[in-house]
Amino acid sequence: MTLADEIRHHVQLRYVEEARRGGRESFSVVAGDVHRDMKLANRMPAVCGALRSKALQSECGITLIGWSGPNQSSTSVATFKLTDVAKHSVAEKDVVGPHGSTTLSTRVDSPTAAWQRFEDLARERMQVHFGQPLHEMELSSVPKRFDMVSIDGSIVGDAKYLSLVAGLRTPPAKFMEIAGHVWLLERISAARIFLVFGNQREVLVAWLKKYGRIAGRVEMYFLDDNGGLDRLH
């Protein structure tokens, strides 16, 4: 993995993912913050280059919409727009009655609401699986907020709610996202590290078939909508 790859992974996990979870349409990244969080030395040109790269936008599903400051400076700020974030957690659909009047309103889950519901289910199910409470928190050793961490830090994991492209094709950007999570988890000294997946099982199966050899000691589970848990790695 090159330095550019590592920088893009860091931005994806630290900024893109958090913005997507929050349902935000855009977010900004300060080059100096990335440089500091990754504990780099004199690599500001590499950081700024990665922030401006087409590869970052393609892998993360984002568009660079603004750049303030010099081309290569710790004070440079990149602003991105998420291209696939839901604007609202729920949408309302009016149902018209036989005389043209609106008789009821049905709430329809958006992708963001579905993801939040899955994260709650995953936390509940993994707490039972490991027999310990798990909380969302950031570890001092890695500049990322993890979805599920035990009080003593011996168990660390994340939830991923992923789908195939158009429900049919393998998603290269999401494969890169999974690899980034594996890379970060492998750098944690916790006794148990894991990823739990929801939505389409095929995404995890396809990733393991292609990249399973790099999964290392990261435990990988699939959790269905009924709470059924299956360990695949």
Cβ neighbors of 157 (< 8 A, separation 6 or more) are 126, 134, 146, 147, 148, 149, 185, 192, 193, 194, 195, 196, 219
Does residue 208 register a pLDDT over 60? yes
Which helix H or strand E contains 202, and what residues bound it?
A: helix 201-211
Q: Which two tokens stand for residue 163?
A: 């789908």
Percent of the chain with pLDDT over 70: 86
Q: At 14, is the pLDDT very low, low, confident or very high (cuts 50, 70, 90)?
A: confident
pLDDT at 167: 63
Mean pLDDT for all residues in the chain:
83
> What does the DSSP assignment read for 44-59?
HHHHHHHHH-HHHHHH
If you average pLDDT over residues 198-217, what whole number do you get?
A: 93
> Are 55 and 30 in contact, with CB atoms under 8 Å apart?
no
Residue 90: which of 116, 59, 67 has the closest Cα?
116
Q: Which domains does the chain have, with CATH numbers?
A: 3-82 (3.30.1370), 111-231 (3.40.1350)
pLDDT at 101: 43
What is the distance between the alpha carbons of residues 225 and 200, in angstroms, rounded to a whole number? 10
DSSP helix/strand/coil, 151: coil
pLDDT at 162: 87
Q: State pTM to two decimals.
A: 0.59
What is the distance between the alpha carbons of residues 114 and 137, in angstroms, rounded to a whole number? 21
Chain length of the chain:
233
What is the distance between the alpha carbons of residues 184 and 193, in angstroms, rounded to a whole number? 10
* Adjacent-strand bridge partners of 219: 194
Task: Tell me the helix, strand and coil percentages in the chain, rounded to 5.
Answer: 40, 30, 30
pLDDT at 84: 60
pLDDT at 230: 95
